[in-house]
Amino acid sequence: MKLGFLLFDYFPFGGLQRDCLGIAQLCADRDHHVTIFTRTWQGDRPPNVRAELFGRHGASNIARNRAWLKQLAETLPQRELDGVIGFNKLPGLDLYYGSDPCYAAKVQRLKPFWYKWLPRYHHFRKLEQSVFASGQRTHILVLTEREIPHYQEFYGTEHERFHLLPPGIERRTFAEEQKQETRAQLRHGQGWDYDNLLLLVGSGFRVKGLDRAIRSLAALPIEMRECTRLIVIGQNRPTEFELLARQLGVVDRVHFLGGRDDVFDWLLAADLLVHPARSEAAGMILLEALTAGLPVLATDVCGYAFHIQRAKAGRILPSPFSQDECDQALREMLISAEREQWTANGVAYASAQDLYSCHERAVEVIESVVKRKT
Protein backbone atom coordinates (compact mmCIF):
# COMPACT_ATOMS: atom_id res chain seq x y z
CA MET A 1 0.00 0.00 0.00
CA LYS A 2 1.04 3.59 -0.63
CA LEU A 3 0.20 5.53 2.52
CA GLY A 4 0.39 9.24 3.23
CA PHE A 5 0.66 10.49 6.81
CA LEU A 6 -0.28 14.15 7.37
CA LEU A 7 1.13 16.17 10.26
CA PHE A 8 1.41 19.94 10.66
CA ASP A 9 4.99 19.90 12.00
CA TYR A 10 7.40 17.22 13.23
CA PHE A 11 9.66 17.74 16.24
CA PRO A 12 11.30 14.95 18.23
CA PHE A 13 9.79 15.46 21.70
CA GLY A 14 6.06 15.73 20.95
CA GLY A 15 3.78 12.83 21.86
CA LEU A 16 1.70 13.13 18.68
CA GLN A 17 4.85 13.33 16.59
CA ARG A 18 6.24 10.24 18.29
CA ASP A 19 3.03 8.34 17.55
CA CYS A 20 3.00 9.46 13.92
CA LEU A 21 6.56 8.32 13.33
CA GLY A 22 6.16 5.10 15.30
CA ILE A 23 3.06 4.04 13.36
CA ALA A 24 4.66 5.07 10.06
CA GLN A 25 7.75 2.97 10.77
CA LEU A 26 5.64 -0.07 11.68
CA CYS A 27 3.74 0.32 8.41
CA ALA A 28 7.04 0.51 6.54
CA ASP A 29 8.27 -2.60 8.36
CA ARG A 30 5.21 -4.38 6.92
CA ASP A 31 6.32 -3.45 3.37
CA HIS A 32 4.02 -0.47 2.90
CA HIS A 33 5.38 2.65 1.19
CA VAL A 34 4.96 5.52 3.64
CA THR A 35 5.44 9.25 3.13
CA ILE A 36 4.95 11.81 5.90
CA PHE A 37 3.69 15.10 4.48
CA THR A 38 4.55 17.91 6.89
CA ARG A 39 5.48 21.58 6.88
CA THR A 40 8.69 21.34 8.90
CA TRP A 41 10.90 18.60 10.33
CA GLN A 42 13.26 18.88 13.29
CA GLY A 43 15.61 16.03 14.13
CA ASP A 44 16.77 12.90 12.33
CA ARG A 45 14.75 11.35 9.53
CA PRO A 46 14.12 7.59 9.53
CA PRO A 47 15.62 5.58 6.66
CA ASN A 48 12.46 3.59 5.89
CA VAL A 49 9.94 6.48 5.77
CA ARG A 50 9.96 9.37 3.30
CA ALA A 51 9.29 12.92 4.46
CA GLU A 52 7.98 15.57 2.07
CA LEU A 53 8.34 19.11 3.43
CA PHE A 54 6.23 22.10 2.39
CA GLY A 55 7.54 24.90 4.60
CA ARG A 56 5.46 27.36 6.63
CA HIS A 57 3.94 30.16 4.56
CA GLY A 58 1.82 32.93 6.04
CA ALA A 59 1.85 35.59 8.73
CA SER A 60 -0.46 33.82 11.20
CA ASN A 61 -1.22 30.26 12.29
CA ILE A 62 -4.48 30.28 10.36
CA ALA A 63 -2.81 31.63 7.23
CA ARG A 64 -0.07 29.00 7.48
CA ASN A 65 -2.65 26.24 7.94
CA ARG A 66 -4.67 27.39 4.93
CA ALA A 67 -1.56 27.62 2.77
CA TRP A 68 -0.61 24.06 3.68
CA LEU A 69 -4.13 22.77 3.05
CA LYS A 70 -3.99 24.30 -0.42
CA GLN A 71 -0.60 22.68 -1.05
CA LEU A 72 -1.93 19.30 0.08
CA ALA A 73 -4.99 19.60 -2.15
CA GLU A 74 -2.67 20.13 -5.12
CA THR A 75 -0.07 17.51 -4.16
CA LEU A 76 -1.89 14.46 -2.77
CA PRO A 77 -3.87 13.56 -5.94
CA GLN A 78 -0.58 13.43 -7.85
CA ARG A 79 0.85 10.86 -5.41
CA GLU A 80 -1.88 8.25 -6.11
CA LEU A 81 -2.03 7.16 -2.47
CA ASP A 82 -4.08 4.18 -1.36
CA GLY A 83 -4.75 5.72 2.04
CA VAL A 84 -4.38 9.10 3.77
CA ILE A 85 -3.95 9.14 7.55
CA GLY A 86 -4.11 12.44 9.44
CA PHE A 87 -2.55 13.19 12.80
CA ASN A 88 -4.21 16.59 12.81
CA LYS A 89 -7.85 17.29 11.98
CA LEU A 90 -7.83 17.83 8.21
CA PRO A 91 -10.28 17.35 5.33
CA GLY A 92 -10.15 14.36 3.00
CA LEU A 93 -8.76 11.78 5.42
CA ASP A 94 -9.34 8.04 5.29
CA LEU A 95 -8.30 7.74 8.94
CA TYR A 96 -7.67 10.24 11.71
CA TYR A 97 -5.51 9.44 14.73
CA GLY A 98 -7.35 11.29 17.48
CA SER A 99 -4.94 12.35 20.18
CA ASP A 100 -6.59 15.76 20.69
CA PRO A 101 -9.78 16.37 22.68
CA CYS A 102 -12.95 17.59 20.97
CA TYR A 103 -12.25 21.23 20.10
CA ALA A 104 -15.91 22.30 20.17
CA ALA A 105 -16.41 20.78 23.63
CA LYS A 106 -13.16 22.28 24.94
CA VAL A 107 -14.13 25.78 23.76
CA GLN A 108 -17.56 25.44 25.32
CA ARG A 109 -16.04 24.33 28.62
CA LEU A 110 -13.07 26.68 28.89
CA LYS A 111 -13.60 29.79 26.75
CA PRO A 112 -15.84 32.90 27.17
CA PHE A 113 -18.96 33.18 24.99
CA TRP A 114 -17.38 35.73 22.61
CA TYR A 115 -14.57 33.32 21.67
CA LYS A 116 -16.90 31.75 19.10
CA TRP A 117 -16.85 34.99 17.13
CA LEU A 118 -13.11 34.74 16.44
CA PRO A 119 -11.71 33.57 13.07
CA ARG A 120 -9.54 31.09 14.97
CA TYR A 121 -12.61 29.34 16.36
CA HIS A 122 -14.31 29.07 12.97
CA HIS A 123 -11.11 27.78 11.35
CA PHE A 124 -10.49 24.95 13.81
CA ARG A 125 -14.18 24.10 14.17
CA LYS A 126 -14.43 23.70 10.39
CA LEU A 127 -11.38 21.40 10.35
CA GLU A 128 -12.87 19.29 13.14
CA GLN A 129 -16.21 19.12 11.35
CA SER A 130 -14.50 17.88 8.18
CA VAL A 131 -13.46 14.76 10.12
CA PHE A 132 -16.32 14.13 12.53
CA ALA A 133 -19.49 15.33 10.80
CA SER A 134 -22.19 12.72 10.29
CA GLY A 135 -21.91 11.17 6.85
CA GLN A 136 -18.16 11.61 6.51
CA ARG A 137 -16.12 8.53 5.56
CA THR A 138 -13.16 9.14 7.88
CA HIS A 139 -12.44 6.38 10.38
CA ILE A 140 -11.26 7.66 13.76
CA LEU A 141 -8.59 6.06 15.96
CA VAL A 142 -9.19 7.17 19.55
CA LEU A 143 -7.07 6.66 22.65
CA THR A 144 -9.88 6.81 25.21
CA GLU A 145 -13.64 6.34 25.14
CA ARG A 146 -14.33 9.55 27.06
CA GLU A 147 -14.03 11.83 24.00
CA ILE A 148 -16.47 9.83 21.85
CA PRO A 149 -19.67 11.26 23.44
CA HIS A 150 -18.34 14.81 22.98
CA TYR A 151 -17.84 14.31 19.26
CA GLN A 152 -21.23 12.66 18.92
CA GLU A 153 -22.91 15.50 20.80
CA PHE A 154 -21.53 18.18 18.50
CA TYR A 155 -21.30 16.33 15.18
CA GLY A 156 -23.50 13.22 15.37
CA THR A 157 -20.53 11.02 14.48
CA GLU A 158 -21.51 7.42 13.77
CA HIS A 159 -20.30 5.06 16.49
CA GLU A 160 -18.98 2.48 14.03
CA ARG A 161 -16.42 4.96 12.71
CA PHE A 162 -14.56 4.98 16.03
CA HIS A 163 -11.78 2.47 16.77
CA LEU A 164 -10.53 2.37 20.37
CA LEU A 165 -6.79 1.79 20.71
CA PRO A 166 -4.86 0.56 23.76
CA PRO A 167 -2.15 2.86 25.14
CA GLY A 168 1.24 2.79 23.48
CA ILE A 169 4.07 3.47 25.88
CA GLU A 170 7.42 1.72 25.63
CA ARG A 171 7.74 -1.44 27.70
CA ARG A 172 10.47 -0.94 30.32
CA THR A 173 12.30 -3.40 32.54
CA PHE A 174 14.87 -2.41 35.13
CA ALA A 175 16.28 -3.70 38.39
CA GLU A 176 15.86 -1.74 41.60
CA GLU A 177 19.63 -1.26 41.75
CA GLN A 178 19.55 0.28 38.26
CA LYS A 179 16.78 2.65 39.31
CA GLN A 180 18.66 3.79 42.38
CA GLU A 181 21.87 4.27 40.39
CA THR A 182 20.11 6.39 37.74
CA ARG A 183 18.31 8.35 40.42
CA ALA A 184 21.51 9.07 42.32
CA GLN A 185 23.48 10.07 39.21
CA LEU A 186 20.92 12.55 37.91
CA ARG A 187 20.32 14.12 41.30
CA HIS A 188 24.00 14.36 42.19
CA GLY A 189 24.83 15.84 38.80
CA GLN A 190 22.50 18.76 39.53
CA GLY A 191 23.31 19.06 43.22
CA TRP A 192 19.78 17.97 44.16
CA ASP A 193 20.69 14.84 46.14
CA TYR A 194 18.22 15.32 48.98
CA ASP A 195 15.51 17.58 47.51
CA ASN A 196 11.95 16.55 46.73
CA LEU A 197 11.78 16.57 42.93
CA LEU A 198 8.46 17.31 41.25
CA LEU A 199 8.39 16.51 37.52
CA LEU A 200 6.15 18.02 34.84
CA VAL A 201 6.54 16.71 31.29
CA GLY A 202 4.95 17.92 28.08
CA SER A 203 4.99 20.55 25.37
CA GLY A 204 2.27 23.18 25.70
CA PHE A 205 2.95 24.33 29.25
CA ARG A 206 -0.33 26.13 29.86
CA VAL A 207 -2.46 23.19 28.70
CA LYS A 208 -0.41 20.87 30.91
CA GLY A 209 -1.10 23.14 33.90
CA LEU A 210 2.43 24.34 34.59
CA ASP A 211 1.14 27.58 36.12
CA ARG A 212 -0.99 25.52 38.50
CA ALA A 213 2.02 23.43 39.49
CA ILE A 214 4.12 26.55 40.13
CA ARG A 215 1.38 28.01 42.32
CA SER A 216 1.16 24.78 44.33
CA LEU A 217 4.93 24.76 44.78
CA ALA A 218 4.80 28.35 46.03
CA ALA A 219 1.97 27.45 48.43
CA LEU A 220 4.02 24.80 50.26
CA PRO A 221 5.04 25.61 53.83
CA ILE A 222 8.40 27.36 53.72
CA GLU A 223 10.33 24.43 55.24
CA MET A 224 8.94 22.12 52.51
CA ARG A 225 9.33 24.66 49.73
CA GLU A 226 13.01 25.14 50.48
CA CYS A 227 13.73 21.46 49.88
CA THR A 228 11.43 20.97 46.85
CA ARG A 229 12.12 21.64 43.17
CA LEU A 230 9.91 21.56 40.09
CA ILE A 231 11.62 20.06 37.03
CA VAL A 232 9.99 20.94 33.68
CA ILE A 233 10.74 18.92 30.55
CA GLY A 234 9.24 19.89 27.20
CA GLN A 235 9.48 22.21 24.22
CA ASN A 236 7.71 25.49 24.88
CA ARG A 237 8.57 29.10 25.64
CA PRO A 238 9.12 29.37 29.40
CA THR A 239 9.08 33.18 29.67
CA GLU A 240 5.64 33.72 31.19
CA PHE A 241 6.10 30.84 33.61
CA GLU A 242 9.51 32.06 34.71
CA LEU A 243 7.86 35.43 35.36
CA LEU A 244 5.12 33.76 37.42
CA ALA A 245 7.69 31.81 39.43
CA ARG A 246 9.61 35.04 40.06
CA GLN A 247 6.44 36.83 41.18
CA LEU A 248 5.67 33.99 43.59
CA GLY A 249 9.22 33.84 44.95
CA VAL A 250 10.09 30.36 43.64
CA VAL A 251 12.08 31.15 40.50
CA ASP A 252 15.11 29.42 42.02
CA ARG A 253 13.02 26.27 42.64
CA VAL A 254 11.72 25.86 39.04
CA HIS A 255 14.07 24.42 36.42
CA PHE A 256 13.38 24.23 32.67
CA LEU A 257 15.35 21.42 31.01
CA GLY A 258 13.86 21.72 27.50
CA GLY A 259 12.94 18.79 25.28
CA ARG A 260 14.97 15.68 26.12
CA ASP A 261 15.29 12.04 25.15
CA ASP A 262 16.07 10.85 28.69
CA VAL A 263 12.60 11.49 30.13
CA PHE A 264 12.34 8.01 31.61
CA ASP A 265 15.53 8.55 33.60
CA TRP A 266 13.95 11.65 35.11
CA LEU A 267 10.84 9.62 35.95
CA LEU A 268 13.13 7.35 37.94
CA ALA A 269 14.87 10.30 39.60
CA ALA A 270 11.76 12.26 40.60
CA ASP A 271 9.54 11.88 43.66
CA LEU A 272 6.22 12.91 42.11
CA LEU A 273 4.78 13.54 38.65
CA VAL A 274 2.55 16.62 38.64
CA HIS A 275 0.14 16.90 35.70
CA PRO A 276 -2.69 19.33 36.62
CA ALA A 277 -3.71 19.64 32.97
CA ARG A 278 -6.53 21.80 31.67
CA SER A 279 -7.13 19.45 28.76
CA GLU A 280 -5.56 16.08 27.95
CA ALA A 281 -7.21 13.52 25.69
CA ALA A 282 -4.95 10.75 26.96
CA GLY A 283 -1.75 11.57 28.84
CA MET A 284 0.87 8.94 28.00
CA ILE A 285 3.21 10.41 30.61
CA LEU A 286 0.85 9.21 33.35
CA LEU A 287 1.34 5.63 32.20
CA GLU A 288 5.08 6.05 31.81
CA ALA A 289 5.13 7.21 35.43
CA LEU A 290 3.38 3.97 36.43
CA THR A 291 6.09 1.87 34.79
CA ALA A 292 8.76 3.89 36.62
CA GLY A 293 6.98 3.56 39.96
CA LEU A 294 6.52 7.34 40.18
CA PRO A 295 3.39 8.49 42.08
CA VAL A 296 1.11 10.82 40.10
CA LEU A 297 -0.89 13.94 40.91
CA ALA A 298 -3.15 14.75 37.93
CA THR A 299 -6.53 16.19 37.02
CA ASP A 300 -9.51 14.06 36.05
CA VAL A 301 -9.69 15.68 32.59
CA CYS A 302 -6.77 13.46 31.54
CA GLY A 303 -8.05 10.55 29.48
CA TYR A 304 -5.72 8.10 31.23
CA ALA A 305 -6.42 9.39 34.75
CA PHE A 306 -8.57 6.33 35.38
CA HIS A 307 -5.46 4.15 35.15
CA ILE A 308 -3.95 6.03 38.10
CA GLN A 309 -7.15 5.49 40.07
CA ARG A 310 -7.36 1.78 39.20
CA ALA A 311 -3.70 1.28 40.07
CA LYS A 312 -4.03 3.28 43.31
CA ALA A 313 -0.79 4.99 42.34
CA GLY A 314 -1.47 8.61 43.28
CA ARG A 315 -4.18 11.26 43.50
CA ILE A 316 -6.63 12.52 40.86
CA LEU A 317 -8.08 16.02 41.28
CA PRO A 318 -11.79 16.32 40.43
CA SER A 319 -13.39 18.88 38.13
CA PRO A 320 -13.95 21.76 38.35
CA PHE A 321 -10.32 22.42 39.19
CA SER A 322 -9.57 24.06 42.54
CA GLN A 323 -6.13 25.58 43.11
CA ASP A 324 -6.60 25.17 46.86
CA GLU A 325 -7.31 21.45 46.43
CA CYS A 326 -4.24 21.08 44.22
CA ASP A 327 -2.09 22.89 46.80
CA GLN A 328 -3.37 20.66 49.58
CA ALA A 329 -2.96 17.45 47.56
CA LEU A 330 0.66 18.28 46.73
CA ARG A 331 1.46 19.06 50.34
CA GLU A 332 -0.16 15.84 51.57
CA MET A 333 1.47 13.64 48.92
CA LEU A 334 4.97 14.89 49.71
CA ILE A 335 4.67 13.77 53.33
CA SER A 336 2.37 10.77 52.84
CA ALA A 337 3.29 7.39 54.27
CA GLU A 338 1.61 5.86 51.19
CA ARG A 339 4.34 6.88 48.75
CA GLU A 340 6.08 3.49 48.77
CA GLN A 341 2.74 1.75 48.28
CA TRP A 342 1.86 4.04 45.36
CA THR A 343 5.19 3.10 43.78
CA ALA A 344 4.62 -0.63 44.22
CA ASN A 345 1.03 -0.37 42.98
CA GLY A 346 2.08 1.48 39.83
CA VAL A 347 4.76 -1.03 38.86
CA ALA A 348 2.44 -3.98 39.49
CA TYR A 349 -0.36 -2.43 37.44
CA ALA A 350 1.94 -1.61 34.52
CA SER A 351 3.20 -5.19 34.38
CA ALA A 352 -0.33 -6.64 34.40
CA GLN A 353 -2.07 -4.37 31.84
CA ASP A 354 -1.70 -3.83 28.10
CA LEU A 355 -0.32 -0.31 28.06
CA TYR A 356 1.95 -0.93 25.10
CA SER A 357 0.33 -2.05 21.82
CA CYS A 358 -1.24 1.18 20.50
CA HIS A 359 0.93 1.44 17.40
CA GLU A 360 0.55 -2.22 16.44
CA ARG A 361 -3.24 -2.03 16.75
CA ALA A 362 -3.33 1.25 14.80
CA VAL A 363 -1.48 -0.39 11.91
CA GLU A 364 -3.99 -3.26 11.88
CA VAL A 365 -6.91 -0.81 11.65
CA ILE A 366 -5.18 1.24 8.94
CA GLU A 367 -4.57 -1.88 6.85
CA SER A 368 -8.16 -3.05 7.28
CA VAL A 369 -9.75 0.30 6.39
CA VAL A 370 -7.52 0.98 3.39
CA LYS A 371 -7.93 -2.58 2.10
CA ARG A 372 -11.72 -2.23 2.17
CA LYS A 373 -11.45 1.12 0.40
CA THR A 374 -9.24 -0.20 -2.40
Q: For residue 285, what pLDDT is reported?
A: 97
| 146 and 227 co-located in one domain | no
Please indicate, yes or no, if residue 289 is contained in any of the structural domains: yes
| 190 and 306 co-located in one domain | yes
Q: For residue 99, what pLDDT is reported?
A: 76
pTM of the model: 0.89
C-alpha distances out from residue 183 to 190, 194, 263, 269, 349, Å: 11, 11, 12, 4, 22
Q: For residue 305, what pLDDT is reported?
A: 98
* Number of separate domains in the chain: 2
Please indicate, yes or no, if residue 304 is contained in any of the structural domains: yes
Question: CB count, 10 Å around CB of 60?
Answer: 11
| 132 and 187 co-located in one domain | no
| 280 and 229 co-located in one domain | yes
C-alpha 121/C-alpha 201 separation (Å) is 27
| 128 and 191 co-located in one domain | no
Q: Which residues pair with 296 in a beta bridge?
A: 273, 314
C-alpha 358/C-alpha 72 separation (Å) is 27
Confirm if 282 and 167 have CB atoms less than 8 A apart: yes
Mean pLDDT by 10 residues, the chain (374 residues): 98 90 98 98 94 97 97 97 98 94 93 96 98 98 93 98 96 90 96 97 95 99 98 96 99 96 96 97 96 98 97 98 99 98 98 97 98 88
| 227 and 316 co-located in one domain | yes
Q: For residue 265, what pLDDT is reported?
A: 97
Task: Determine the structural domain holding residue 8 and report its residue range.
Answer: 2-166+357-373
Confirm if 166 and 354 have CB atoms less than 8 A apart: yes
C-alpha 44/C-alpha 34 separation (Å) is 16
C-alpha 346/C-alpha 187 separation (Å) is 22
Q: For residue 110, what pLDDT is reported?
A: 87
| 131 and 270 co-located in one domain | no
CA angle, 184 then 270 then 175, to 5°: 60
Please indicate, yes or no, if residue 299 is contained in any of the structural domains: yes
Please indicate, yes or no, if residue 232 is contained in any of the structural domains: yes
Confirm if 172 and 129 have CB atoms less than 8 A apart: no
| 201 and 347 co-located in one domain | yes
Q: Which CATH number characterizes residue 109's domain?
A: 3.40.50.2000
| 156 and 243 co-located in one domain | no
Please indicate, yes or no, if residue 303 is contained in any of the structural domains: yes
| 98 and 187 co-located in one domain | no
Please indicate, yes or no, if residue 171 is contained in any of the structural domains: no
Contacts of 309 (CB under 8 A, 6+ apart): 316
| 125 and 34 co-located in one domain | yes
Please indicate, yes or no, if residue 213 is contained in any of the structural domains: yes
Q: Which pairing describes strands 254-258 and 228-233: parallel, antiparallel, or unpaired? A: parallel
| 347 and 265 co-located in one domain | yes
Q: For residue 201, what pLDDT is reported?
A: 98
Please indicate, yes or no, if residue 249 is contained in any of the structural domains: yes
